[in-house]
Structure 1
Amino acid sequence: MSKRIIFYAIACCLLATSCKKEDAIPYEPYEAPAKPDNPTDLAIYDIFTEYQSKIIYRWDRRYITADAFASPPNESIVLPYVENVLRKLFIAPYDRQKSEFMRQNMPIEMILFGTKMNYVEGDERNFSASGTAYGLSRVIVTSVNGYDLTDATWLKNQYATLHHEFAHVLDKKFGRPAGFDKISEGKYAGGTSYAAFTQAEARSRGFWRNYGMSNESEDFATWVDGIVTTPKESVLLIADENTFLQQKYKMVYNFYLEKGIDLHVLQAYLQNVLDNL
């Protein structure tokens, strides 16, 4: 048998195999997940339905790095935390200014930890994190077990953390304002070295507080949490201290304003909620 005949025979076999009719894929209609049968998971289900964001409170060690420790939230606290902190102090302030803003921008997952994340190894040893943001997809919020509506300090720290971490999400999605990173170029401390600088030294370099000296991303986010926890009059006085502060304030404020959010209106709303809880 010639090589030509052998080649022809193989080609025919391959053609027959490739043209064999496959079985049709059976149609399986979409089935919406059943509503949870307990109040906590139902409240979380409602947020997912409205904003496509999953609130996760059941402990999973993979949500924290190997060099850190944290504890899960007490399950009895999760429901009031979702209703009175996430709903009232995080979601509502944006919703009332622009109804679609949070549906379009909320992180895909929000992980609740009962305690702070305490780092015990590596470059961040002895550092305690109030929260962490991973790109557009995940935000970790800590200290949920401290839930106490009569504790104004805890409440303010909670919503400062929430808006700080959310600023990281928006930073990743839209990018920081053009030129922001240049304002304090060469004045960042890097890593945990920021702790060696006083508030006055940080402000002289254009930072809201010394933690912002870690890197450009933290610089941006600390400006956001600073504005949403400080009355407008005080923010303007701080911004007027030097050109660096004035430039950054305008960039951060306008970044949000262009998206339909006035950070000063947001701060006033948060303060009003805090005063009346």
Structure 2
Amino acid sequence: MKKQLIYFLLALTAVCLGACNNDDEIDTAHSIFSTEPVERNAFDDWLLDNYTYPYNIDFMYRMKDIESDHKYNLVPADYDKAVALSKIIKHVWMDAYVELAGIDFLRVYVPKTFHLIGSPAYESSGNMVLGTAEGGKKITLYNVNDLNVKKINIEKLNNYYFETMHHEFAHILHQKRNFDPSFNRISEGKYVGADWYYYMTAEGAMPRTNDIAWPDGFVTAYAMNQANEDFVENIAMYVTHTQTYWDNMLRAAGETGAATINKKFAIVYNYMRDTWGIDLNELRKIVLRRQQEITEIDLSTIQ
């Protein structure tokens, strides 16, 4: 079978060399494969000044086929919304770490590629993928075109972007220096892997929402995937939400669930403080303050 395929390709190559490469001029002006460099605009210059030069980050807002996951049906990010999100990310996420830990900390550990995708990415199960990180080098954010610049919704920004950013950045940190393995044993036997998004009842499969996961000692449903995801979800949810939210979650979790969450969070808090010099209470104060400052930022297109 392999030989037949090789022979076929060789024959096809010979035909193309003889027939395809003729003297007819190729209409390169209308080819989908352009070798011409994209002309840099004012936004590209802003990205150089705010992402590339200080942090060596390649901020890709023009969707690149080679950087995209082909198992999803995706569309590019809208230009104006990419501009707005780039400013929001810098102010609320990046500058929060700089304010607390210094610019050198972020320079060393921040992913060197950000890639924006306009549409959501859906798994075959129907679950929406909010973001991905690849080896600590690249973060992809989806659903950019759903951003409403005229009506900033902090809860939505957290759900779609900032929980993802803190989540993925925490992965980078623990992959560099691992956390106390005793964390893995606290909920040992309760992790459900890829089945985190549903649970079985007498009536059949039901969606597992965050509030369903709380009594089992998990801060989100996704935290039930595996221990590493559980660990970083604690960081992402803590720094993006108020103490009121956290207290309400613990109350709803019940005595057993709250005790489990508190035991895990103690390890998470100590790890970030002792390993990286980051006090999560201070980081949360900065993040929450910067969230409220979004409305003061000019999110309009850079001229």
Structure 2 length as normaliser, TM-score? 0.71
> For 1:1-277, what aligned pairs fall within 5 Å after superposition?
37-46=40-49, 47-83=51-87, 85-99=88-102, 100-120=104-124, 125-149=125-149, 150-152=151-153, 153-157=155-159, 158-196=161-199, 197=208, 199-232=210-243, 234-235=245-246, 238=249, 241=255, 242-258=258-274, 259-276=276-293, 277=295
* Partner-residue secondary structure (3-state), 2:136: coil
Residue matched to 2:21: none
Q: Is the contact made by 1:48 and 1:54 (CA closer than 8 Å) also made in structure 2?
A: yes
* Partner-residue secondary structure (3-state), 1:69: coil
Structure 1 residues 50 and 177: alpha-carbon distance in aligned structure 2, compared to 1, 3 A threshold: farther
Which digits, 9 at most, give the CA deviation of each residue in 1:227-277, with x for residues without a partner?
012223553675684432112111112222231222222222222233342
- CA drift of 1:198 comes to 5.2
Structure 1 residues 69 and 91: alpha-carbon distance in aligned structure 2, compared to 1, 3 A threshold: same
- Overall identity of the aligned pairs, in %: 25
Q: Distance in 2 between matches of 1:54 and 1:136?
A: 14
* Partner-residue secondary structure (3-state), 2:139: strand
Q: Is the contact made by 1:238 and 1:245 (CA closer than 8 Å) also made in structure 2?
A: no
Aligned pair count reads 237
Which digits, 9 at most, give the CA deviation of each residue in 1:29-49, with x for residues without a partner?
xxxxxxx85221122222121
Structure 1 residues 173 and 53: alpha-carbon distance in aligned structure 2, compared to 1, 3 A threshold: farther
Structure 1 length as normaliser, TM-score? 0.77
Q: Distance in 2 between matches of 1:115 and 1:171?
A: 30
Q: Is the contact made by 1:164 and 1:225 (CA closer than 8 Å) also made in structure 2?
A: yes
Q: Distance in 2 between matches of 1:237 and 1:250?
A: 18
Structure with max Cα Rg: 1
Q: Is the contact made by 1:107 and 1:136 (CA closer than 8 Å) also made in structure 2?
A: yes
Q: Is the contact made by 1:231 and 1:264 (CA closer than 8 Å) also made in structure 2?
A: no
Which digits, 9 at most, give the CA deviation of each residue in 1:44-94, with x for residues without a partner?
2221211122211222233333432222111232222212x1211110111
- Highest RCO, 1 vs 2 (Cα 8 Å, sep ≥ 6): 2
Q: Distance in 2 between matches of 1:41 and 1:68?
A: 27
- CA drift of 1:186 comes to 0.7
Which digits, 9 at most, give the CA deviation of each residue in 1:123-168, with x for residues without a partner?
xx31210001112111111222223342213323222221122222
